[in-house]
Amino acid sequence: MEYTVMARRFRPQAFGEVVGQEAIAQALKNAIAADRVAHAYLFTGARGVGKTSTARILAKSLNCPHAQHGDPCNQCEVCHAVSEGGDIDVIEIDGASNRGIDEIRTLRANVNVRPMRCRYKIYIIDEVHMLTKEAFNALLKTLEEPPPNVKFIFCTTDPQKLPETILSRCQRFDFGTIETHRIRQRLAEIALAEGVDVEPAAIDLVARRAAGSMRDSQSLFDQLLAFGGPKVVTADVHRLLGTAPDNRLLELVRSLAARDRAQVLTQLDHTLTAGVQLAEFTDQLIACCRDLMVLTAGATGATLLSIGDDARGELESLGKQWGLQSILAALQILADTKQRMKYVSYGRILVELALVRIASLAELDMLAETIALLKSGRLPAGPAMVAPPGVTTPPLVSQSSTPRPLPPGDEKKNDITPAVPSQPAPTVSMAAPDPDPSSEPVTAIAFESGNERAVWTEVLASLPDSPRKKFLSAGRPAISGPNQLVVFLPVVYSTFKQTLDRSPDQLRELEVAVERVVGRQVRVVLDLESPPKETETSTPQAQPRELQRRPAAPDNDPYIQKALAAFSATVMRVERLEPTARPVEERLEN
């Protein structure tokens, strides 16, 4: 006797047997009972959730002469023929291999032929989104006004690829993924029907692995029964899938939370040596971090994807120990690593790099609180956050050590010990260091026209040496109002200007520095210098030949300025290239 795969042998034959789609099944049964069946249906959803099976059940219910309450009898010749896919009045078409306009023209020609023995001629088109645009256009008129004895049932996993003209002519039903406990229950029924002793933990592992697809779970379960012995246990599932047991997975996650890098690498090596596949183990780590994130965020009743429910309490305690921010960072690192593993042959090195990075993460839960305290100027009495091992944090400067702006005439009160300036950052950072109060002028400079350069020089002198100070020193200050100072930067510094514009803290720091210099509040605005305008008379033909051959200065060449602004570049050197031969014009004149 020829063997039939499990997914076909245990395919649902009635609406009541469709697992996880009870609402859709009830709606179709009611439509059949009330004789309100539409001329076209669209079944959408993930793979293996019952779309094609429901389409066949609907076809049997419409054509079965002994149907009762919307369900087929599954005993007559029509029901058997439809179940086997050989009924002459129920035509199943694969949209992936019959996607052209010629196939649709043939369908249109056969639509007007009356059914041979049944009430309806039913067309089931699977993967209908694979049809070409021309094929859809050819189907439109027939789909909108088919003969009264013709029904269309479309099945697809990508409904967004269907034209709106097709969607508007169909009644749509969205099939959702099947819950894990429903898949577990169905697999237990199949194991009982097959007479095989399967450990409940093994069934649970297969159900979780299916990710909501009943067909995938049955295919995997069929392979497991052929792979295992008289009794199927959890170890058989792990050997078949190339995955790690729950206890090994939890041990590695505990080492990550404890930031034990050596133990993490050792456990990974032992896991891979035991036969676990690297890609599968990475998926397990991602799923475990997802479970930790969900539980730590407060969704304690959510379904777990990585391990069984018996370890839910241990995951909750581990999530509280690790911290939500650290879990989020670990999940992001693992997701990026999984994406990169598709394009390289050294996947193990990438996974080891990711695990070491995760084990090196500092405490991130208090980072948001620390940033808020720094922005408000209120620093905690104790350490704000725990530094990673081997990292020395610089001393924090208390709020009392920052001098307040003084009005003119009260400079003698400014007797404050200056704070130690921070080290200059290698790049322009979003959180700039505080100005050095030791460079404050003894007397305030009047904020009036003619003193712009003097004010700006004092402001720059109060700032610590950094790339930001270098960029600001190239600016040209100008007073545009009674309380506004505009600093015009070269066009090549447009990226630097955008960075400062997105950082209100740095602009506020400049305003505080100007306030110390002039003795009152002043608004600082950054702008770009206007590029030089070209005159109509300065054409290359009107200039002497010697000037045409002479390279233009970078500051005056508009094309160079546009290139510098586009790439945020800086001119480092200008070289003049001497021609190896005289120009063609000179040779012709001589």
- Per-residue pLDDT of 207-244, as tens digits, reads 988 888 999 999 999 888 888 777 888 888 998 889 99
Q: For position 537, what pLDDT does the model report?
A: 44
Q: For position 465, what pLDDT does the model report?
A: 78
Picking from 15-19, 103-107, 198-202, 535-539, which range would have the lowest pLDDT averaged per residue?
535-539
Given a cut of 90, is residue 28 above it in pLDDT?
yes
Block residue for tokens 């919307």: 70
DSSP 83: H
Specify the higher pLDDT residue, 577 or 242.
242
183-198 pLDDT, tens digit per residue, is 999 999 999 988 888 8
Quote the mean pLDDT of the chain.
80
Q: For position 555, what pLDDT does the model report?
A: 65
- CATH 1.20.272.10 domain position(s) in the chain: 246-359
Per-residue burial over 349-383, b if 16 or more Cβ lie within 10 Å, else e, is: ebbbebbeebbebeebebeeeeeeeeeeeeeeeee
455-507 pLDDT, tens digit per residue, is 888 888 888 877 778 788 888 888 877 788 888 888 877 887 788 777 777 88
Structure tokens at 449: 């026209």
Residue 486, helix vs strand vs coil: strand
Tell me the backbone φ, ψ of residue 300, rounded to 5 degrees. -70, -15
Work out the average pLDDT over 46-58.
92
User: Dihedral of the CA atoms 491, 497, 498, 501 (nearest 10)?
Assistant: -150
Distance CA 79, CA 406 (A): 94
Q: For the domain bounded by 246-359, which CATH number is listed?
A: 1.20.272.10
Specify the higher pLDDT residue, 528 or 553.
528
Residue 551, helix vs strand vs coil: coil
Is the Cβ–Cβ distance between 129 and 158 less than 8 Å?
A: yes
- CATH 3.40.50.300 domain position(s) in the chain: 6-175
Q: For position 145, what pLDDT does the model report?
A: 87
What topology does CATH give the domain 6-175? Rossmann fold (3.40.50)
Q: For position 365, what pLDDT does the model report?
A: 56
315-336 pLDDT, tens digit per residue, is 999 999 888 989 999 999 999 9
Given a cut of 90, is residue 287 above it in pLDDT?
yes
Is the Cβ–Cβ distance between 124 and 93 less than 8 Å?
A: yes
Picking from 83-97, 376-390, 400-414, 556-570, which range would have the lowest pLDDT averaged per residue?
400-414
Q: For position 3, what pLDDT does the model report?
A: 67
Residue 393, burial from CB neighbour count under 10 angstroms (0-12, 13-18, 19+): exposed
Distance CA 24, CA 72 (A): 16
Q: Does domain 180-241 have CATH number 2.60.40.420?
A: no
Instruction: Say how many residues make up the chain.
Output: 590
Q: For position 429, what pLDDT does the model report?
A: 42
CA distances (Å), 406 to each of 443, 483, 517, 538, in order? 10, 17, 10, 54
Q: For position 380, what pLDDT does the model report?
A: 52
Pairing of strands 40-45, 523-528: unpaired
pLDDT band at 441 (very low <50, low <70, confident <90, very high): very low
Residue 144, helix vs strand vs coil: helix
Distance CA 283, CA 290 (A): 10
Distance CA 38, CA 31 (A): 8
Given a cut of 60, is residue 432 above it in pLDDT?
no
Work out the average pLDDT over 559-568.
74
Block residue for tokens 């007007």: 112
Distance CA 316, CA 45 (A): 33
152-180 pLDDT, tens digit per residue, is 999 999 999 999 999 999 999 999 999 98
Given a cut of 90, is residue 534 above it in pLDDT?
no
Work out the average pLDDT over 555-568.
73
Is the Cβ–Cβ distance between 61 and 67 less than 8 Å?
A: yes
6-18 pLDDT, tens digit per residue, is 888 888 999 988 9
Contacts for 337 with CB less than 8 Å, ≥ 6 apart:
282, 350, 351, 353, 354
Tally of CB atoms within 10 A around 233: 14
Q: Report, at the CATH architecture level, how domain 432-533+551-590 is classified.
A: 2-Layer Sandwich (3.30)
Contacts for 158 with CB less than 8 Å, ≥ 6 apart:
129
Enumerate the β-bridge partners of residue 40.
152
Q: For position 6, what pLDDT does the model report?
A: 83
Is the Cβ–Cβ distance between 478 and 486 less than 8 Å?
A: yes
Work out the average pLDDT over 65-86.
88
